[in-house]
Structure 1
Amino acid sequence: MDWTSAPITVDAPLEPAQPSFLFQRFSAVSGRIEQFLERERAQLPLWFAVAFGMGIAAWLWLPGEQGWVAFLVLAVGIASAGLTLGSARSGRALLFGGMAMAAGCALIWWRSEAVGTPRLDRPAVASFAAIVERMETRAAKGDLRLTLATTTGGLPPTVRVSFPAKSPPEGLGEGAHVRLRARLQPPPPMALPGSHDFARDAWFQGIGGVGRAIGPVEVVKPTAGGGLDAMRDGLGRHIRDRLPGSAGGIATALATGDQAAVTEEDAEAMRRSGLAHLLSVSGLHIAAVVGAAMLLSLRLLALSERLALRFNLVLVAAGFGAIAGIAYTLLTGMQVPTVRACIAALLVLGGIALGRDAISLRLVAVGALLVLSVRPEALAGASFQMSFAAVTSIIALHRWSLVRTWLAPREEIWPMRFLRGIFGLLLTGLVVEIALIPFALYHFHKAGLYGVFAILIAIPLTTFVIMPLEAGALLLDAVGLGTPLWSATGIAIGAMVDLAHSIASAEGAVTMLPTMSRWAFALMIGGGLWTCLWIGKVRLWGLVAFATGAAGAALAPVPALLVTGDGQHLALVRDDGTPVLLRSRSGDFVRDLMSEAAAFDGEPANLEEQRFARCSRDACIADIVRDGRAWRLLAIRSRDRIDWTSLTKACADADIVMADRRLPRACQPRWLKLDRPMLERTGGLAIYLDDEPYVSSVTDRIGRHPWRPEPLAIRPPARPPARFPTDR
């Protein structure tokens, strides 16, 4: 049969294949995600700033190069997945989010390498020549602190040296050439796991050594004068001359941002009462300066009928406000909260010029991106975190329709209007305090609980009384008439300080917490951002994350032993939470450090006074009981020679041995031998003896970041031996 002549038959059309169940579910989920992102499209740019910060935080959190590279690969993978999804809103969100995460991680990694400078590897006494880059007055300690660019070989390019301020040499200042002899040491690392990392700060500031001058500082070539640092220092000295004592230190901090003149008692009271942010030049101060400049210029320009008719005086006043804000930021040293507040003020003024509402979360996001683009390391600082958290929480609160409706202006009698304003201020203060508690507990191990009541009085007092009085006194000093206003300023500052001390000393004013885990802190931050940045009901899931992180933080265990990296200081934490110090003459810094790490709000005790300890001039032996297990601690506290036989026998009978010197090889305790070689590798330690005993070290926290102490740290054993002594 000829196939060409065969009849052609047309088959029935094929039925389309039914999509699989998984495909249907994926399509439904992706459709819902697209609908959600479409509803929240105005909020998506805010998450770009969050993703950028996540990249920086990941570099700071992950321990070394392998983790950083893995995170970059993950971020690029997320961006690639978004690129694959095409023009869908979810695809663009993944693309830009992944790119922002990678950019943040890469930026701080690059900056950490770019700012790296040689550091001292051991303490040294040196005579050297240098040029003064910065001079700071630390009035509370009676010191001058010089940041010096060394011109003598064999030293880091930049060091920081302090010396008594009683009789500074003539001609000392920014740009002066000096010669001096100083005892220098490497920038101090984190003293205990979770404490502040001074070495990280010094690394990004390019400081390779810190110390104290021995003898006088010789000025070879005097300063030419001038400069912002000299102006700031001179202004601070003038304020303290006109307003001596405690009030002068507070007034200096309010005017210049220099808190070195604030006494430790006042600073602690301000922290405990929740008013410490008033001492840091930030949004409150910038707003007052910009607002005052705008109001004054607007009133003065409006006196001219020609100017009022020909020009938009609001725009001109906004220009004067911008100039005043920038000048004040430069004068106060361009600290992170000040820069953030200045950027925010400039954006607000720009919004006024354009006729748009600039008070929004986008303003906060732009400010954060600008600061982090220049100084990504600022993300790790309490100042950056707390200032942005406060502003974000305030804007998110007043964006809530219920709050906005309740606080909106309306026709009503003045008592109701006044009460409505007081309620709004109280509610705002309460939300800010709640937002700042995680940061205060993470960085300082303490948080004030009555801060909202202190803020209700202190902020109006500072904004409308203290700062105008101080500004007026400085202006009238030009003609010698500022004395009455200085007296009034002192009285107002005294009232604020008395308020801080009263709140700080109240029972239950402060809650303490030991070092919380970083995952708990991250959950609280992530939950807070999720709640503040979305506008739909989905934001309520952020409260679940926040509560989970808060529970993890609240359950953070208290260490049984705390050991500093130099082996000089040890604190044993009793069952009642009181830290007991090995050395009774420890300084205030060590005593505060141990109390905060143990979450103890009080004065530490001394080990030699405890019944469970036996101390001699050379050593202390203490028996620690935790969960039915007995542990014996041998802590050597002198450098004198100890009989070899007695020492090795005592070591063999102990579970933990600690010393600030090298111990002989024959000294073998049952678990931990913490002598100088080991502590040089581990840094400070927190030892936990409840349930599953383990050791947390500074090395674990720092990882392989470039400011780690050298040589590279080696971890101590993470677990004790399987058998424990229980018969003691």
Structure 2
Amino acid sequence: MRTLMRALVRIDTALFKQRGHLFPWAPVAMAIGIGTYFGLSSEPLLAIYPIICMGALLVGLVTWRFPGSWSPFGWGICLIALGFCIAGARAHMVSAPVMKWRYYGAVEGRVVALDRSASDAVRVTLDDVRLENFPAKALPERLRLSLHGPEADLQPGQRIMTTAHMSPPQGPVEPGGFDFRRHAWFQRLGGVGYTRVPVLTIAPPEEGIAGLRIFALRMAISSHVREVLPGDTGGFAAAVTTGDRSGVHQATLDALRISNLAHLLAISGLHMGLLSGFVFGSLRLGLAAIPPLALRWPVRKIAAIGALIAATGYLALSGGNVATERAYVMAAVILFAVLVDRRAFSLRAVALAALIVLTLRPEALLGPGFQMSFAATTALVGVFGAIRDADLPRLPGWARPVIGVLLSSAIAGAATAPIGAAHFNSLSHYGLIANLVSVPVMGTLVVPAAVLAFLLTPLGLDWIGIWAMGIGLDWILCVAQWVSALSGAQSFVPRPDTVVLPILVLGLLFVILWQGRLRLVGFAPAALALMIWGQAERPAVLIADTGSIVGVMTSEGRALSKPRGSGFIALNWLENDGDGANQAKAAERWPVQNGRLRFIAFQNGEIVHVNGKRAAAEFKSCRPDQIVISSVKLQIDGGCRIYDPDHLEETGSLAISGDKTISAREVSGGRIWNTTPASR
């Protein structure tokens, strides 16, 4: 009994020492609730939400009325419940029709977004959609098309028409993998597809719609920038000014990713921070240089207001995607702290920004952008705060910026590396070097030049700023090409189990947020997560949900059943294996091809892949020891296991390990976004 009492006293003392440092745990608790919602295998009944809310309200009232050392746990329960309910509410609020079957025919709609696909094709998003002979109530709110036909000069707001192949958003390419169907649900994207025929304009751009006016302005600026700076440099400049990445080709994107410089392409925390910081510093220095103003006006607060206005304009100009919204919230919280005379860079500010983002877009928690952005920011604020509080000897003036850039790049890189590896299955070994010689150029040349171009626009001299931007961006692209070409620039890691990343992140958050020596305990779960990751085993067999491709693990790596086609699925499988081979090389590992049929030994039997009607015509019968995967419906005898479209339509993609077969439908569960497509 005494031992128990001593333990309770120690817990009470430890919690008392955390007073004043508990607010940064609020978004952690809220994220646990959001993660719980998305981790469920079935959609909660609507009646569950009021019960949870009432329970949380009761806990909150008791915690408020009878405060004590246990209060943080009570408020934590309330925040977990709040996160769960916010995620559920958001999922139902964005509900929109989703296609239930494959469709080929006329597609008409209004252009509301443009980007570029992984296959380097221009991709257009349409709303106000019309499909031939399609029920009005089942029409998707938005569709996305990849344009593989002739070049089309698309304008924001114009109505276009083409003939396209459309299908519902696909589920994970393997059980437990990235669920594009869930991602599309929160974008209200009801169908995806492609066209190889010309796109026709049937109505000019619409006027008077605020969102389309901003989109048109973005595209006009992007087009102008690319006229001044041709090629990928212009595409890069357009991406960092307007968020339009359609002018950057896939080879350049690959070089930026391998060199760990891809974050410079997306308008995120770095760009928003650099822009806000540059405007804030310029206004403050400019006003301070005028003694009558500096002595009478609150120069620092005026500069903060100016920086906030600039950041707001940048948010609108960038298209307001999730990453930019997140960066804007963070910048706005910091600038607001300046206005109310509070410390701008603190874990409280980071926590407040995270709470706002999670409330507005709870689904952002699952994305690498949110995770990497807040991991880097939390680590930077935590480490530099510890250095500040340690009262270390002051460095010489010339050494501070050098050490600052070196430390910032190293800390941010270390904080984001495991998250990036978990999502993208790769590590950039020379990313620190690339960032050290590129990020300063972005901050000292590219961003100031962009502001200069904006200021000179009324005089028609914006080309001066754009030209200066091009110098800096050319340097960054040269660094990316050089680093990506180095031997061993990139290595690949297998996809971790689902539990790895949450355990790793919670452990490291405990190290940063907890006060006192007990924080070192957080390294234990982080180490455990890395050990689990190191023991990850990949499925022996992977089967696409269409039956169009099969991957079987061999001693040389995963063997793919065909060298071309289903490239997105093949690439994801190989990346998740931690395999750097391309599809063609992986197809060379497949040992036997008999006509159009492909055979490979598996366990005590054989796997047969039947791809297409001609291959099905060649396949007459099967044996009980065979597993047959077909992209067309099969009607054969022999007692073999058959996975054809009728079966795969119900299960989604499949993974076979030993005697166990797991389906994507089983792992994803019966969620609101996970409807079973119906054939037509």
CA contact 1:397–1:403 (8 Å) conserved in 2: no
The one of 193, 201, 219 equivalent to 1:218 is 201
TM-fit CA distance, 1:370: 0.7
Q: CA 1:519–1:617 in 2, change beyond 3 Å: closer, same or farther?
A: same
Q: Percent identity?
A: 27
Please state if 1:639 is matched with 2:648. Answer: no
TM-fit CA distance, 1:677: 2.0
The one of 326, 331, 348 equivalent to 2:317 is 331
Within 5 Å, give how 1:588-607 maps onto structure 2. 588-605=567-584
Q: CA 1:485–1:128 in 2, change beyond 3 Å: closer, same or farther?
A: closer
Structure 1: stretches of 5+ with no match in the other structure: 1-20, 713-728
Letter paired with 2:92: E
> More displaced, 85-94 or 317-326?
85-94
TM-fit CA distance, 1:186: 0.9
Within 5 Å, give how 1:24-423 maps onto structure 2. 24-65=2-43, 87-127=66-106, 129-132=108-111, 134-138=112-116, 141=120, 143=122, 145-150=124-129, 153=136, 154-163=138-147, 168=152, 172-174=155-157, 176-213=158-195, 214-220=197-203, 222-224=205-207, 227-302=213-288, 306-401=292-387, 404-406=390-392, 409=394, 412=396, 417-418=398-399, 421-423=401-403
Q: TM-score, normalised by structure 2?
A: 0.90
Partners of 1:80 and 1:32 lie apart in 2 by: 28
CA contact 1:131–1:178 (8 Å) conserved in 2: yes
TM-fit CA distance, 1:605: 4.2
CA contact 1:148–1:160 (8 Å) conserved in 2: no
Partners of 2:496 and 2:487 lie apart in 1 by: 24
Number of the residue aligned with 1:652: 624
- Listed one character per residue, the Cα deviations across residues 357-395 of structure 1 (whole Å, up to 9, x for unaligned) are 121111111111111111111111111111111101111
The one of 637, 649, 655 equivalent to 1:666 is 637
CA contact 1:169–1:219 (8 Å) conserved in 2: no
Letter paired with 2:664: V
**Alpha carbon RMSD of aligned pairs, Å?**
3.1
Number of the residue aligned with 1:469: 449
Q: CA 1:583–1:163 in 2, change beyond 3 Å: closer, same or farther?
A: same
The one of 654, 676, 683 equivalent to 2:645 is 676
Number of the residue aligned with 1:723: none
CA contact 2:239–2:265 (8 Å) conserved in 1: yes
Partners of 1:379 and 1:609 lie apart in 2 by: 39
Within 5 Å, give how 1:559-578 maps onto structure 2. 559-577=539-557
Partners of 1:124 and 1:234 lie apart in 2 by: 33
Letter paired with 2:87: I
The one of 646, 665, 671 equivalent to 1:699 is 665
Partners of 2:256 and 2:539 lie apart in 1 by: 28
SS in 2 for 1:568: coil
Partners of 2:261 and 2:588 lie apart in 1 by: 37
SS in 1 for 2:441: helix
SS in 1 for 2:547: coil
- Listed one character per residue, the Cα deviations across residues 595-623 of structure 1 (whole Å, up to 9, x for unaligned) are 2022111323457745x722133211112
Within 5 Å, give how 1:426-505 maps onto structure 2. 426-473=406-453, 475-476=455-456, 479-481=459-461, 486-505=466-485
CA contact 1:62–1:68 (8 Å) conserved in 2: no
Partners of 2:373 and 2:249 lie apart in 1 by: 23
Letter paired with 1:224: E
The one of 682, 686, 693 equivalent to 2:655 is 686
Letter paired with 1:699: R
- Listed one character per residue, the Cα deviations across residues 318-357 of structure 1 (whole Å, up to 9, x for unaligned) are 1111100111011112222322222222222222222221
Partners of 1:228 and 1:584 lie apart in 2 by: 43
- Listed one character per residue, the Cα deviations across residues 206-237 of structure 1 (whole Å, up to 9, x for unaligned) are 12122235543332354227611111111111
**Count of residue correspondences:** 667
Partners of 2:485 and 2:615 lie apart in 1 by: 46
Q: CA 1:711–1:37 in 2, change beyond 3 Å: closer, same or farther?
A: same
Structure 2: stretches of 5+ with no match in the other structure: none
CA contact 2:592–2:599 (8 Å) conserved in 1: yes
Partners of 2:50 and 2:554 lie apart in 1 by: 45
TM-fit CA distance, 1:79: 8.1
TM-fit CA distance, 1:674: 2.0
CA contact 1:364–1:392 (8 Å) conserved in 2: yes
Letter paired with 1:212: Y
CA contact 2:123–2:144 (8 Å) conserved in 1: no
Larger RCO: 1 or 2 (CA < 8 Å, sep 6+) = 2
Partners of 1:190 and 1:169 lie apart in 2 by: 33
Letter paired with 2:15: L
TM-fit CA distance, 1:179: 4.8
Q: CA 1:142–1:557 in 2, change beyond 3 Å: closer, same or farther?
A: closer
Letter paired with 1:436: T
Q: CA 1:162–1:520 in 2, change beyond 3 Å: closer, same or farther?
A: closer
Letter paired with 1:425: V
Q: TM-score, normalised by structure 1?
A: 0.84
CA contact 2:630–2:645 (8 Å) conserved in 1: yes
Partners of 2:656 and 2:373 lie apart in 1 by: 33
Partners of 1:708 and 1:481 lie apart in 2 by: 52
SS in 2 for 1:64: coil
Letter paired with 1:540: L
Partners of 1:485 and 1:327 lie apart in 2 by: 18
Q: CA 1:572–1:38 in 2, change beyond 3 Å: closer, same or farther?
A: same
TM-fit CA distance, 1:188: 2.3
Letter paired with 1:62: L
Q: CA 1:108–1:638 in 2, change beyond 3 Å: closer, same or farther?
A: same
Letter paired with 2:95: G
- Listed one character per residue, the Cα deviations across residues 458-498 of structure 1 (whole Å, up to 9, x for unaligned) are 11011112222344345546545455654543343222122
Partners of 2:270 and 2:188 lie apart in 1 by: 31
Partners of 2:546 and 2:342 lie apart in 1 by: 57
